[in-house]
Structure 1
């Protein structure tokens, strides 16, 4: 890149969740690190208290959605979100739909109109349209945003649950 080129900014939508430790502090810290390292956050949803999904736990979650304007590639954004999760104490990643309590979870839901599936990253997030705890905050941030595979808005996906 030459000194006169401006990096392209992309719109990413992320889901954040926490159900261990000081959940509100974990969320705020993760958001601050995203803003510091990944780009601008023009829109953030409220924090929603939700029951665990896909596993049993006595700990409720705080969930939120964020619109992130970033110059990071999807792969670089994934690496950054995983680094933030580790910094905030997450030691176990969910694998094969086996979920665990966690201090922070950051998922890339959508990245522009990108559709990709690699061993490391699938965008759009393959389960987002089944999860109220994802769609409700995302609908607050971007209700008219269109899912690039399902061709329905976030608001339509939420109302279909």
Structure 2
């Protein structure tokens, strides 16, 4: 990914733990690497095809002055998120905030925090087989749409499928959606659970009926395993109700473990 660099922008602001820091203020040096595809701007020579680094520098200055934090870790986190939400062409950012007047009582040049944040692509399966199924699904999608760190992409058709797992219950309304997010996988999982809980989802029977089911299928190409979350979601390759709608929106997505495209996995399952 191409990068636009802003190096050691001086900002006088009032971040700090100690009262004199927030009262008197001090100098901070902010450096930012903006991850952006500059190809279009390089070919067209038009500014609207890129990110105006002068405006970004002004935005950094304004935000640092008006959003006071005790820790530069918090200042960096907030500023990175703000810039990524403000500039649609920005795919990611490497941000460093230096504190040259850090009150540590020892001779040093500077103390700094450097973080990298970017948009991640994820795929989520949704389903419902209780009550007004479509209304439950639409309410869950609305929660995702309203989350600041999420941008919804393509959404598949909703398809009617038979229950999976052998439990006697009503047919499901299933589908998949694509999103971009600034959240970590576990933070995204919390949002999915919040949406389920809003629709009064109860986890009483494994593979049982539910008002709303939201499953994180993929998060970039990461392979994760924890007590709370496994990514890619287990048994994707065995579930037509996942593969069929997913193939509508991401047929060429490669499963990072199986090394096969979604389109291929669906064809293999249908031919069994």
Above 0.5 in TM-score?
Answer: yes
CA distance in 2 between partners of 1:105 and 1:23 (Å): 11
Partner of 2:242: 134
Partner of 1:75: 186
Q: Is residue 143 from structure 1 mapped to residue 254 from structure 2 by the alignment?
A: no
Give the 3-state SS of the residue equivalent to 1:146 in structure 2. coil
Give the 3-state SS of the residue equivalent to 2:217 in structure 1. strand
CA distance in 2 between partners of 1:100 and 1:8 (Å): 36
Give the 3-state SS of the residue equivalent to 2:118 in structure 1. coil
Q: Is residue 13 from structure 1 mapped to residue 136 from structure 2 by the alignment?
A: no
Q: Say which of 168, 188, 196 aligns to 1:85.
A: 196
- Structure scoring higher RCO (CA < 8 A, sep ≥ 6) equals 1
CA distance in 1 between partners of 2:153 and 2:225 (Å): 27
Count matched residues.
Answer: 158
- The CA deviation at 1:59 is 0.8
Partner of 1:23: 133
Q: Say which of 148, 153, 164 aligns to 1:53.
A: 164
Contact 2:161–2:171 (8 Å) recurs in 1: yes
State the 4+ residue runs in structure 1 displaced beyond 6 angstroms. none
Partner of 2:209: 101
CA distance in 1 between partners of 2:204 and 2:187 (Å): 18
Residue by residue, what CA displacement relative to the aligned partner does 1:44-83 show, whole Å, maximum 9, x if unpaired? 0000000000033341100010001111100001111111
CA distance in 1 between partners of 2:146 and 2:268 (Å): 36
Q: TM-score, normalised by structure 2?
A: 0.56
CA RMSD of aligned residues (A): 1.4
Contact 2:169–2:208 (8 Å) recurs in 1: no
- In structure 2, runs of 5+ residues without a counterpart are 1-75, 85-116
Give the 3-state SS of the residue equivalent to 1:107 in structure 2. strand
Normalized per residue, the structure richer in helix is 2
CA distance in 1 between partners of 2:237 and 2:129 (Å): 21
Q: TM-score, normalised by structure 1?
A: 0.93
